[in-house]
């Protein structure tokens, strides 16, 4: 994997790591940023646990793929992001939720960066 590819791939990983850590440390701010109301009780545990782990685990997989030069580790975060974009879109179509264009756009952009890294690494070999 080239230095440029490693750098580009690290962008979503850093963003996800920051978001995941902030879900643990500042869940009220993160809930607001995601257009949510911060839950209480078991709902709070679910918001912090589910969303924190979503972002941190994706970041760790990407970092590990960069560290080992093994872009196979990029596939799970790509799948998670593209399914998130799909489900956000379905929430609009099926449940009249507001269309989250900025979030969907970033999920597609970050997936595209990782897909680019996978394919550019194949050409180098």
Give residue 68's pLDDT.
96
Give the pLDDT confidence score for residue 92 in this predicted structure: 97
Residue 16 has a pLDDT of: 98
Return the percent helix, strand and coil in the chain, to nearest 5: 85, 0, 15
Interatomic CA distance for residues 106 and 112, integer angstroms? 10
Mean pLDDT for 102-120 is 97
Q: What is the pTM of this model?
A: 0.91
Domain that includes residue 86, residue range: 3-124
Give the number of domains in the chain.
Answer: 1
pLDDT tens digit string along 33-74?
A: 999 999 999 999 999 999 999 999 999 999 999 999 999 999
Q: What is the CA radius of gyration of the chain?
A: 16
């Amino acid at each position: 994997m080239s230095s440029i590819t490693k750098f580009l791939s690290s962008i979503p990983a850093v963003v996800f790591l920051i978001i995941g850590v902030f879900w643990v440390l500042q869940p009220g701010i993160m809930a607001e940023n995601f257009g949510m109301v911060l839950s209480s009780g078991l709902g709070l545990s679910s918001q912090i646990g589910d969303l924190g782990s979503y972002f941190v685990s994706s970041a760790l997989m990407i970092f590990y793929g960069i560290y080992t030069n093994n872009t196979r580790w990029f596939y799970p975060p790509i799948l998670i992001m593209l399914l998130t974009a799909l489900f956000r879109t379905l929430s609009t179509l099926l449940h009249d939720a507001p269309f989250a264009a900025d979030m969907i756009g970033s999920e597609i952009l970050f997936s595209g960066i990782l897909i680019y890294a996978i394919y550019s690494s194949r050409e180098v070999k």
